[in-house]
């Protein structure tokens, strides 16, 4: 069992929700982004997600796009790998790397996956990797102990759910609304029927992301039966405004909202 699977299984057994915290590597510096994620871990984040800055992050809203633009001014491939290694040296939580396909293949997919695994990553979140093209990626990742996280959305075709369930060896990322990261939750379309249909094929942990930025929103998604939440844009804002302490305070608030539910 992988570190990610153990963490999610342990949370389920305890009846607690998972909190996954995202920051972009290199925003504002590599050292500061690592400090921000360490602060998130200390404040109660269960999974840490470090973003690989990219020039065309099509799934991300303006907050994370701006973070990527800032980071790209001084962040290179070696810096992202180093950030993962520095984070692993300081935290016990699973580490997920969010990256689009291009950065992962620019220096050779298999070599990049190997370096990420050696640095201490546990999972990859790749928004632009189609499920139908993911088998070679998943095979290469699995050989290194990495999982690749599949996505579901309100528009997911029910006929694709068996393949998504089969591909899920850590958790499934539920895109909670139609749009980009950081959008308002009141624009959400219900993904709950898709989650229920997925679980008829496999009882895999499902974490909701997109539009979740405070304790109240996190608690609402937990009350809807999700296994946890993913918080990105709000933490990137907190990092830009108040540094690691801003991240620490927001994660602490969201953790309290999840734990005090009902």
The verdict on whether 60 is a catalytic residue reads yes
Phi, psi of 161 (to 5 degrees): -65, -40
- Cα–Cα distance for residue pair 20/11, rounded to 1 Å: 12
CB atoms within 10 A of CB 77: 14
49, 122, 169, 227: the catalytic one is 49
Grouped pLDDT means (10 residues each) for the chain, 262 residues: 95 96 98 98 98 87 92 96 98 98 94 98 96 95 97 94 95 80 50 95 95 93 94 97 98 95 52
What local confidence, expressed as pLDDT, does residue 180 receive?
Answer: 45
- Cα–Cα distance for residue pair 117/140, rounded to 1 Å: 11
The verdict on whether 259 is a catalytic residue reads no
Q: At what angle do helices 233-259 and 30-43 cross, to 10 degrees?
A: 10
60, 115, 122, 227: the catalytic one is 60
Question: What class is the 3-256 domain?
Answer: alpha beta
Q: Is 216 helix (H, G, I), strand (E, B) or coil?
A: helix
pTM given for the model? 0.94
**Which pair of tokens denotes residue 212?**
């979740």
What is the tens place of the pLDDT at every residue in 33-64?
Answer: 999 999 999 999 999 999 999 998 877 889 99
């Amino acid at each position: 069992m992988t570190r990610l699977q153990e963490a999610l299984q342990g949370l389920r057994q305890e009846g607690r929700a998972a909190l996954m915290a995202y920051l972009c590597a290199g925003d504002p510096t590599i050292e500061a982004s690592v400090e921000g994620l360490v602060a998130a871990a200390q404040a109660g984040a269960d999974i840490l997600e470090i973003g690989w800055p990219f020039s065309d992050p099509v799934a991300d809203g303006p907050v994370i796009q701006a973070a990527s633009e800032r980071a790209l001014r001084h962040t290179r491939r070696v810096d992202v790998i180093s950030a993962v290694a520095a984070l692993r040296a300081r935290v016990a939580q699973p580490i997920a790397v969010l990256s689009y396909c291009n950065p992962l293949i620019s220096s050779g997919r298999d070599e990049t996956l190997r370096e990420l695994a050696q640095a201490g990553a546990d999972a990859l979140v790749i928004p632009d990797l189609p499920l139908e093209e993911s088998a070679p990626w998943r095979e290469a990742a699995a050989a290194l102990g990495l999982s690749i996280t599949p996505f579901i959305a309100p528009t997911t075709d029910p006929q694709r759910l068996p393949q998504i369930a089969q591909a899920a060896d850590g958790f499934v990322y539920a895109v909670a609304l139609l749009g980009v990261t950081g959008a308002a939750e009141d624009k959400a379309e219900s993904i709950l029927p898709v989650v229920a249909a997925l679980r008829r094929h496999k009882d895999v942990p499902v974490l909701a992301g997109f539009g979740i930025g405070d304790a109240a929103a996190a608690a609402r998604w937990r009350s809807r039966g999700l296994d946890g939440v993913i918080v990105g844009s709000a933490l990137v804002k907190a990092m830009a405004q108040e540094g690691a302490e801003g991240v620490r305070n927001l994660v602490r608030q969201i953790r309290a909202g999840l734990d005090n539910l009902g």
